[in-house]
């Protein structure tokens, strides 16, 4: 199976960080599916102006994290990328908890 995977994906440029990122994204989505199966979701309204489910908040958090990092790169370049990571992680937590 591993040989088939290597043969059929050699056209893609995979690095260790990109593999970890997409593997983590896949595991997060799979984990949300299992969580929703065993604990059905209840939509709620937080500080966001819409009623959201856990999956909605996860999606909004992922998209807004991407936006924060891209804006950081646009304004500050590659200087102190840890700042972008800290800011986006804090926003993701606030949005997922109270959003």
The alpha carbon dihedral of 56, 59, 65, 71 has a sign of negative
Q: What is the pLDDT of residue 31?
A: 93
Q: In terms of pTM, does the model score above 0.75? A: no
**87 pLDDT above the threshold of 80:** yes
CB 29 within 8 A of CB 62: no
Burial of 10 (0-12, 13-18, 19+ CB in 10 A): exposed
- Tokens coding 37: 């199966």
- Tokens coding 13: 């440029």
| Domain residue ranges in the chain | 14-98
d(CA 80, CA 96): 25
Q: Report residue 22's pLDDT band, with 50, 70 and 90 as the boundaries.
A: confident
């Amino acid at each position: 199976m591993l040989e088939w995977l290597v043969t059929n994906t050699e056209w893609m440029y995979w690095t260790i960080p990109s593999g970890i990122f997409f593997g983590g994204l896949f595991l997060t989505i799979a984990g949300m599916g299992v969580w929703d199966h065993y604990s059905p979701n209840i939509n709620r309204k937080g500080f966001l102006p819409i009623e959201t489910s856990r999956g909605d908040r996860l999606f909004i958090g992922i998209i807004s994290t991407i936006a924060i990092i891209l804006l950081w790169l646009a304004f500050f370049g590659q200087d102190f990328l840890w700042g972008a990571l800290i800011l986006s992680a804090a926003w993701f937590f606030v949005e997922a908890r109270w959003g």
